[in-house]
Structure formats: structure tokens, C-alpha cells
A and B are shown apart, each in its own frame.
Chain A
């Protein structure tokens, strides 16, 4: 979706509650060098996701958890967390059904 020299292809896993905004796609592939750039590329492709992931001032919403591999990006470098080719990002939603 975006290509510059330092970017790498990244798979993003989309959780069920957000698939209504991604044409029901469970994964998306973007090219980006950081987590923040990868999510921006995703939102550029699926604009309806924007309000679900970001606040009006462009920061990630507090209830949105993002993992690179199996690590929460809050314990890495947040949106600046670097990505390498083949990395997988997961958007982990709060769900409450029982």
C-alpha cells in the first residue's frame, strides 16, 4: 500500500469486531518500517477504521492493544517500534461475550 526504500511487508491481523471496516478481511499486508506507519497505511486503505483506532488528535485509543509478534508494543517502543520483513502485527480487541 505504501512503498519506500526502508519499508518491509508486514501482515496485520484484523480482529472480528473491526472486520466490518475492512471488507471482512481477516488480514492485511502493508509495507512499513514502524508499527505506527503500518497502522497508518492500514487506515489509509480502510478509512472507516480511523475512528476505531485513533482519537481525534491522532493517538492510538487506550483500549486498542497492538502486538508485534507476541509482544505488546507498549513494552517495546510504542508506535515507533521497528518492523522487519515478515513481522506480524495483531490488533487485540476487548470482547466481552459469554
Chain B
């Protein structure tokens, strides 16, 4: 792999002072520090994992740090995304990240890529870095990052989180397994909720993102035993850490000796989601919806004002309805809809508007209802759109 090249860069007097606690580490020393200075890492996602990872990698002195993200900072990010502060809300994440990281360490180069990583740009971007740290928030990008890392020979330090649980491994090294060797296929859409839907303990990405950064440092400085062929499982609730053995799949479609897939593919389609147009846009994968009939929040408001409001079904969890209520007639969590159709039997024949937070879970529920003969429509944008366009006293979360 590229990172074992004997590349180093000389350190200035200021740098020797700044990194003195590294220089006195016998296992690391000046050689390790010079390797870091000559090295580069691409962080895909500047969110919960990318925040602590970027800060520690910058502080440690990795010479060139690239960041890929296209979001703006939201208030709900601040519970865990420590790169950002209250004054950054509403502004570009990467502009804020650049300012914070350059202040933290002016000796490193920060490169910002404000775009959505796609099959069109991933190979060029990733090939320009020694190591990738995958901290994205959706399955299609996980598979895209993996495949592009395999195809460019770039080690992928993988970390992911959910609620109280984290996973870390190093994929796509020359001899080790890749993400596809372990997770050959993604789960169907909707089975694993996103962090927006399922919640995440704010400290968890701090724990896991710093472990991810540790693995990056080890690869770049060529020290220790990286998590190649091992999956670290972290359960913050029980504070239980377990390591599982991973093996290279000799039939892996991407990293085996005779791969069946040698180019990047449409990863939304691979993950069972509607394809994006491949260009940068403002919609999060969480908010992608299936092709079911929709109604806008303005339409719903108009019809309610005219006294002809349709029956409204909320498919979120009860605690979510306590946070943000737009006046639904009934609540059935989306995963229970198929089993509780009898509660809607009285409304067969009339229109049913289905809503959730962003429109993703309600799209699934709408599809289930339509398959059972209900005239269901998905409320586009969910309570977020209602808060944005109709009533800003409805909290967003």
C-alpha cells in the first residue's frame, strides 16, 4: 500500500516544539512525525465521526487533510459534531471546519471538497490521498467509498455508529478484506434507521471517531497493528469491546483476484433506493423517498383551512409526536403499519395522508397501505417541511 513508502518531510523548529510529545515517544519519534507530515488523508463526511477525527489528525500533524461534505451546520449537529459552534449554524460545514482546523494547526494543509461523493468523482478524489477515513452516514456512500478504495489501492479506515454502538476496521489494504467481503449486500432500505431517526448518543462518535483517527495515524506512521482483518465492536452502554476476525472473501465481487465488478456502479440502486442524478444536490439520503403519490404541506394546510382536511396518519414513534405535533388523527409507528391495518379499515375508501419527520418512513408506510388497497398519500417533507413552510412553532429535531 502507498503509505509504507519511505516518504518523510523535514520538520521546522516550530513543528519540532509543537510535536515534542510525539518525538519523545520511542515507537513514534521524529521519523513517525516526518512520515505524518508527508502523508495525506481524505475524510469522507465531516459529521459526528469526521469532527473528532479531523481535529485529532490535524493536531497530530498529518500534512494534508481533505474533507468531503456538502451540508450546512444544523443546530441538531452540535450535540456531537465538535468541529462546529453555535455561530456556525446555517453556514457551510466545510468553511467552518477549515477555519477551526487551520486555527488548531497552521502547519497542516486543509483541502475542502464541498460536494457529494459520486461514482463520477470518487476515483479521482480518493486516488489523490494515501488513506481514506469513511465516516459517512448512509449505505450507498459506504459501498461507493469501499469500491473506490479497492480500485485505487487506498486503505479505508472504516467507522460507523448507531445509537450506542460502533464498529471500526481497516478495509481495502493489499492483503486484507474489504467492506464487501464482510457486508456483501446492504440491508433493505428502512430496516436500519438513520441516526436522525434512531438517535445517537453524542459522545459515541467522539469515542469511535478518535479510534478511527488512531488507525489512520498508525497506517500513516507505519506503527502498531492496524485493524486489518479485524472488526472492533463497541457497545457504549455496556462499555463492552469485542474484536471479530474478518477474512478476505475469495469470491468478493470487488477485491478478489478475479473481480466481477471492475467499475463503480449506481450505489443508490444497489442499496434499493431511487437513483440520484449523480450531481451534487441538497437532499440527504435519509430524505429520499420512494415513488408513491405525494401531497405537499401547503396542500394539506389549504384543505384543512377549507374544512376538508383528510385523515392524517403519523408513522413516527410516540416520543417524536411529543416533540413535534402537526395534528395527526392516529399514530402507528411505521414498522407496525402492516400488522395494524384493521385500525384503518374504517378509512378505506377515503384519502389518508401519511407523515413522519422527513418523508422517508411515511413513503414506506404509504406504499404498504396502497398495496392493501388504501388511498394513501405521502406528506412530502414531513414535520420538517410543515415547520419550515407552515408553522415555525413546530420544533424540528
User: Taking CB as reference atom, which chain B residue is nearest A63?
Assistant: B187
Contact A97 B161 (CB under 8 A): yes
Tell which of A32-40, A67-75, A78-86 binds the partner. A67-75
Chain B: number of interface residues, binned into ranges: 35 or more
What are the residues of chain B within 8 A of A41 when measuring CB–CB? none
Q: In the complex, which of the residues A13, A93, A98 contacts B135, with contact meaning CB atoms closer than 8 Å? A: A98
Starting from the known contacts A63-B185, A70-B243, A98-B205, 14 additional A-B residue pairs (CB-CB under 8 Å) come to A16-B163, A26-B235, A26-B238, A63-B187, A65-B183, A71-B245, A72-B247, A93-B162, A95-B165, A95-B167, A97-B48, A97-B198, A98-B47, A98-B135
Of the candidates A17, A63, A65, A70, the one whose C-beta lies within 8 Å of that of B186 is A63
A94: Cβ under 8 A from any B Cβ: yes
In the assembled complex, B386 has its CB within 8 A of some CB on chain A: no
Give the residue name and chain of the B residue nearest to A15 (CB). B165
Question: B247, A95: Cβ atoms under 8 Å?
Answer: no
- Beta-carbon contacts of B114-158 to A below 8 Å, as 1s and 0s? 000000000000000000001111110010000000000000000
CB pair A16 B165 closer than 8 Å: yes
Chain B 245-272, CB-CB to A under 8 Å as 1, else 0, gives: 1110000000000000000000000000
- Contact residues in B for A20 (Cβ distance below 8 Å): 335
Is B33 an interface residue when CB atoms closer than 8 A count as contact?
A: no
Q: Check if A62 is an interface residue, CB within 8 A of chain B.
A: yes
Query: CA of A50 to CA of B14 in the docked complex: distance in angstroms?
Result: 60
Q: Which of B142, B195, B245 contacts A72 (CB 8 A)?
A: B245
Find B182's partner among A13, A61, A65, A97 (CB 8 Å cutoff): A65
- The complex places the Cα of A85 from the Cα of B136 at a distance, in Å, of 40
Interface residues of B (CB under 8 A from A): 45, 47-50, 134-139, 142, 159-165, 167, 182-187, 191-195, 198, 200, 205, 231, 233, 235, 237-238, 242-247, 335
Report the minimal beta-carbon distance from B200 to chain A, rounded to whole angstroms.
6
Contact B243 A96 (CB under 8 A): no
Given contacts A70-B242, A94-B183, contact A16 B162 (CB under 8 A): yes
Query: Is there an interface contact between A96 and B142, defined as CB atoms closer than 8 Å?
Result: yes
Which one of A13, A67, A70, A94 contacts B187 once the chains associate, using CB atoms below 8 Å?
A: A94
Q: How far is it, in angstroms, between the C-alpha of A61 and the C-alpha of B182 when the chains are bound?
A: 13
Measured CA separation A22–B45 after assembly (Å) = 32
